[in-house]
Each structure stands twice: as structure tokens, then as C-alpha cells.
A and B are shown apart, each in its own frame.
Chain A
Amino acid sequence: MKRYIVLMLTCFIAVSLIIPENAYAMHIMEGYLPFGWSGLWTALMLPFLFLGMRSIQRTVQEKPSLKMLLGLVGAFAFVLSALKIPSVTGSCSHMTGVGLGTILFGPLAMSVLGCIVLIFQALLLAHGGLTTLGANTFSMAVVGPLAVYGIYRLLQRSGAPREVSVFLAAALGDLLTYVTTSVQLALAYPEAVGGVMASLVKFAGIFAVTQIPLAVSEGLLTVLVFNFLTAHSGQELQELSILRKEGLS
């Protein structure tokens, strides 16, 4: 009995070490979701994309320089997701940047930028895919940012220190993204016995192995970035939060 548990744990750890690029684990792969589910998640994601577009449109009309800023911020998000996080095991992992982007620019702008970044990740890096774009956008650019935003606002209002709120918002936002991905996979591939719930336990369990350490490092890094920014570029940080003040959140 105990032997099996040890065996399984070794398997899991081995698997998480073998995965050549953890970035592939971030998104649902091309063709992995059935046609119906791809369509459904796309339909669910579109209203958020529409809201994001509308709010960007309004802001840009008043302040045209913001379009350039959004373009650079989007590219920044893409580059961020391609940076390797130093890790003990030697396998490489990546930041999602969802926490950082949302705290700086608000969840609505993130839905549009996130969707575009996911398109580029599919086409330039073959991470994720076009048919699963809706599902990935929903988990990474809708649920993730909304969670980050909610948690951050809640903690800030309750008077928690900024480091704590940034860490928790980024880490939990990351985790919720993966919970959403697990739900999407479980709904599409329910177990013959036990149905969606059993399947959810299975997928979430597998994700937990790789994603909990990732969420922690994402949280830590986001705190480090924020500390760096407040220490060295307080002025720019003020100016950057303009997107949020202009009603983009």
C-alpha cells in the first residue's frame, strides 16, 4: 500500500521533471477540447472581450497615447510569459504575468491583451491553440484577472500590507486559473464512473503537482517586481496606473 503511494509520488515528480517546457502545461493544447466545448468557452469569453474592447475604445478616444501604451504592455505580457523562472529542479517554469498586469491595468484591459497574447503564443510558440483559444482566454484572461482584482481589492480594503495582498492576489489568481482549466478539462472528459467530479479530482490533482510551486513563485516574483518598481520608479508607477484610473477597470 505504502509502496504504491511512494511509487505514484515518484511518478508524479518524475513527470513534472520530464515535461520539457512547463509553458505547455499553462494552456489547453490545440485540438484537445471537443468542438462543442471549444464553441461554448468561446461564447462565454466573448462578452468579456467585448466589455474590454469597449472600455479601451472609450479611453483611447480621450487619450490616444494609451493605444501605444497598451500595445507595449501587451508585448510586455508576452515576453513575461516567455521568461524562465529560475528553479531548484532545473526544469523551467514561466510566469503568467496575470497578477502583475491586472494589479497595474485592471481586469477589463487584461481580457483583450490576454486574448491577443494567447493568439501569439499559439502562432509563434505553439503554446495553446486556435481551437482552444476561447477556453484558454476564459481561464487565463477572464477568471484569472477577475480573481486577482477581487482578492487584491479586498485585501487592500481590509488594510493588509501591500506585499501580502500582492502575493496572495498573484498566487491565488494563478491557482484559480488552473482550477478553471481543470474544470474545463473535467467537463469535456468526465469519468465513466463518478462523472465530472471524479474527473475534476483527477485533473486538479495532476495540475496541483506542477502548479502550486508555480503559483508561489509567481506570487514571490510579483512582489519583487512591485518592490523594485516602488523603490526605483515610483513616479512611473503612478503614471502607469493611469489606465486603471481612466476607468479601464
Chain B
Amino acid sequence: MFQIDQYAYTNRLLKVHPGEKMAFAIITMIICLISQSLAVMLAAIALMAAAVIRAGIPLRVYIKLITVPALFLILAVGAVAVSISGQGEGYLWGIALGKFYIGVSPSNLYLAVLLFCRSLGAISCLYFLSLTTPMVEIISILRKLKVPSLFIELMGLIYRFIFVLVETAESIYTSQSSRLGYRNLKTGYSSLGALVGNLLISSYRRSEILFTALSSRGYTGELRVLETKYIVSGKNILAILAIDVLLVLLSLAEMSGGGLIGRIYN
């Protein structure tokens, strides 16, 4: 149903302790976010791509997955690159619009490039986490991190119900379209309205049935499930530490040395 979720349960890094994968993704993501160095961001993108390939996710699939946010990201950083000002001095490219100038200044262009790489780096980390770690494991790590139990329980419930409801919505959609429910805009809207309304009511009914079923099995307000045991690997932890310390050092070196792009730019 969700391609990402499917890989999370079938990849080759499934047996690795979820805490290690999560730490790797989150720490690298934070380094990416704080660092001003382009090299660090590019390194993070490459590292995560390598890790995802290592997990046995086909390169073709990964490229396809990452192109969608990357395309949108180009548009999003485009908004940062373009600026409006009263005088068009120092623009690399620009057009006059009445009293104002719309154009791209060198500093904004640099910011946009930096932002693109930083964001793509962070997205790579996110993809690594979500492609290799099943949601159930992420939730159990959050529980160990002492996130309030109500939040954890709601997360668990919502995650499980998503798949039930998507299936319901899909079958309603199929039967509606087989009856020409989406043949034009007007019928499309009223069909979608009916779909959403029905989905809500069926969710409500389902929650009642579920509660009855749970209560009859002794539910007292807490759902407990067995968790998979994982082995903590010292080797992995050392590797993660080494990689992230290297990234931080690279970042510091870049900053004091003016940086890869900084040198070209100045």
C-alpha cells in the first residue's frame, strides 16, 4: 500500500537494532541542519544513499523516491533565490517590474544552493530511517525515550487503522468510479463528499466494535504487545560515532577554511 512501509519490513537492515538506525539518521540530520558546509551535506546525501543501497533497496526505486521531493525542493528554493528590491543592482539576472526589480542576487543564489543541499541531505536521512525501520519499532523506541504513553498508544492505534481505512476508501472509490462517480467535476465532488462522510461513519462504527471486542477480552485501557528483541551491536555504534564525528570535523574544517564553495565564490 505504501511503498516506503513495505521496504521497512523487508529490507536487509531489518535485524539491526532500530535504536542504532534511528540515532544514525537523527544525528546526521541534525549535523546537516546546523552545518554551513556544502561538503558535509553532500557527504550526508552520499552516505545515506549508500546505507539505503546496503539495505537492499534497489537504486532505481530510491532514485524515484527521492526525485519527487527533490523536484519540489527546486521550486521551493527557487522562491528563496528570487528576491524583490527597489533597485536592481548586483543582480545576476533580473527583470524590472514597475518600481521594483525581481531577480537573483549572488548571495541569494548561494543561499538557495546551500538550502537545496541541506534539505536534500535531511530528506536522505529521513528516507534512510523510514526505508529501513518499521514504524512499530520507531514507536517502541519512542516509548523507551519516555514519550507520554497516551501519545504512544494513539500513534500505535492510528498506524494500524491507517491501513484498514485506506483499504475501505479504495474500495469505495473503485465502486464509485465504476458507476461513473468521477466522470466530471461536479459528480466528482459529490462522490468524494459521500466517500469522506461514509469513511468517517464507518470509522466510528469500527471503533465501537473494536472497543466491544477489546473489552470482552479484558481491555483496561492499555494495549500491550510483545516486542521483537534486537541485539545491540558495538561495531555499529562505533561506526555511527566515527562517521558523525568525521562529519562534524569536516564541517568545522570547512568553516575555518572558507569552504569549498566559499573559495570559489569569493
Q: Is the pair A120, B159 in contact by a Cβ cutoff of 8 Å?
A: yes
CB neighbours (8 Å) of A130 from chain B are 26, 29, 126
Q: Is the pair B119, A116 in contact by a Cβ cutoff of 8 Å?
A: no
B65 within 8 A of A: yes
Contact count band on B: 35 or more
Contact count band on A: 35 or more
Q: Is the pair A30, B126 in contact by a Cβ cutoff of 8 Å?
A: yes
Q: In whole angstroms, how far apart are the Cα atoms of A239 and B203 in the complex?
A: 13
Contact partner of B200 (CB less than 8 A), chosen from A86, A198, A202, A229, is A229
| Of listed A18, A74, A220, A227, residue having the most chain B CB within 10 A | A74
Q: Is the pair B161, A71 in contact by a Cβ cutoff of 8 Å?
A: yes
Q: In whole angstroms, how far apart are the Cα atoms of A75 and B207 in the complex?
A: 11
Task: Give a binary string over A208-228; 1 marks a CB under 8 Å from any B CB, 0 the rest.
Answer: 000000000100110011011
Known: A25-B72, A76-B199. A112 touches B154 (CB 8 A): yes
Task: Give a binary string over A95-128; 1 marks a CB under 8 Å from any B CB, 0 the rest.
Answer: 1000010001000000011001101101111100
* Min C-beta distance of A175 to chain B, whole Å: 18
Q: For window 5-39 of chain B, which residues contact chain A by CB distance below 8 Å?
A: 5, 26, 29-30, 32-34
Q: Is the pair B130, A123 in contact by a Cβ cutoff of 8 Å?
A: yes
CB neighbours (8 Å) of B113 from chain A are none
Which 6 A-B pairs rank lowest in CB-CB distance, beginning with the nearest? A31-B122, A224-B193, A71-B157, A86-B188, A75-B161, A228-B197
Interface, chain B (partner A; CB < 8 A): 2, 4-5, 26, 29-30, 32-34, 65, 68-69, 71-73, 75-76, 79-80, 82-86, 95-98, 105, 107-108, 111, 115, 118-123, 125-127, 129-130, 135, 138, 148, 150-151, 153-155, 157-162, 164-166, 169, 182, 185, 188-190, 192-201, 203-208, 210-211, 214, 219-221
